[in-house]
Structure formats: C-alpha cells, structure tokens
Amino acid sequence: MDKESLETADQVAETKREVAIRITMMPRDTNAHGTVFGGIILSYIDVAGGVEAVRHTGHDRFVTVAMREIVFLEPVFIGDLVSFYAETVKVGNTSVTIRVIVEAQRFGSHGQSVRVTEAEVVYVAINQYREKVKIKK
Ligand SMILES: CC(C)(COP(=O)(O)OP(=O)(O)OC[C@H]1O[C@@H](n2cnc3c(N)ncnc32)[C@H](O)[C@@H]1OP(=O)(O)O)[C@@H](O)C(=O)NCCC(=O)NCCS
C-alpha cells in the first residue's frame, strides 16, 4: 500500500471511531524511567469510557464498577499524543459496558500510531443519592 492509500485508510478508520479524549503526555505524567505511569493511562481510560457512557445513554451520572484486565503492549513517552477511542459494547439494565482503545502517536512521527492497550470498563447509572437506576433505552 502506498503512503497516500495508507492515509486514506487511516482517515476512514478515524471517521468511524469516536475519540473521547486526545491529550499530549507531559513530564508530570512520567515515572523515574521517563515513561508514562500506567495509572495515568488508566485514569484517562476511566474518563474516556465515562464520556462515551454519557454520550451513548444520555444519562449523566455513572460510577465505575469494573475495569476488566488491562495489558500494556507498548510504553507511552513524554510528548506522545495519546488518543482514547471509546465505543459502547453493551447497555444492560443499570450498567453500560464500554471498550476503550488507546493509541499513542509518537512525538515527531508524522501520524504514526501504536496500540498501547485496550480495556473494557463497566459503569453503573446512579441518581443524586448514589442509588443505581435503570438506563432508559
Ligand atoms: C456500582 C454499585 C452502585 C453497584 O451496586 P450493587 O447494588 O452492588 O449493584 P448490582 O450487583 O445490582 O449490579 C449493578 C450492575 O452492575 C453490574 N456489575 C456489578 N458488578 C460487576 C462486575 N464486577 N463486573 C461487571 N459488571 C458488574 C451488574 O451486572 C449490574 O448490571 P445490570 O443492572 O446492567 O444487569 C456499587 O457497588 C457501588 O457504589 N460501588 C462503588 C462505585 C465507585 O464508587 N466507583 C469508583 C471507585 S473510586
């Protein structure tokens, strides 16, 4: 595939996926070895999934009940532009399951991305008293 068709394929994929968050990693996000803390990525995964849960259901109050196994495949470095793509997998009675895919675009790489991790996160809809409530379908 030539460069032009690669870009076109990327653009098509980009338009089908919802970016919940896109953020550049800063020195404050790193450990002593110069790579980003896994916990920083986890917290953004949680937020990105929450954004999708609200977008998809129209309900505005959720708590995270479960984050399923998360394996980090590649490191994230300072300056990487990290995208958190989120899609709804399942809407249950009171819960919603969201898949979040994390990709890092290396600083100065002209758009080349690596898959960092992916996760399934389950949220439960609650009311102002923190009681679980049914999600309207
Ligand atoms: C989330 C919470 C409201 C659930 O209350 P609960 O009475 O135990 O709820 P239930 O067991 O009836 O489960 C509610 C839903 O969550 C789902 N769920 C519960 N535990 C789950 C788990 N470990 N994995 C996946 N889904 C789970 C259930 O399947 C159910 O989904 P459904 O209604 O769509 O069928 C309660 O456990 C809670 O407040 N937890 C703390 C959440 C929080 O503060 N998170 C941030 C931590 S810092």
CATH of 18-125, one of 3.10.129.10, 3.40.50.920, 3.40.50.2300, 3.20.190.10: 3.10.129.10
What pTM does this model have? Answer: 0.90
Task: Tell whether the model's pLDDT for residue 112 goes beyond 90.
Answer: no
Q: Which ligand 1 atom sits nearest the alpha carbon of residue 132?
A: 3
- What value does the CA radius of gyration of the chain take, rounded to a whole number of Å? 16
- Residue 3's contacts (CB-CB under 8 Å, 6 or more residues apart) are none
Contact 61, 119 (CB under 8 A): no
Q: Tell me, what's the pLDDT at 106? A: 95
Task: Tell whether the model's pLDDT for residue 88 goes beyond 70.
Answer: yes
Q: Kindly indicate the confidence band of residue 9, based on its pLDDT and cuts at 50, 70 and 90.
A: very low
Residue 13 Cα, ligand 1 centroid: separation in angstroms?
33
CA distances, 77 to each of 27, 30, 33, 97 (Å): 9, 8, 10, 29
Write out residues with Cβ below 6 Å of ligand 1.
63-66, 92-95, 122, 124, 126, 132
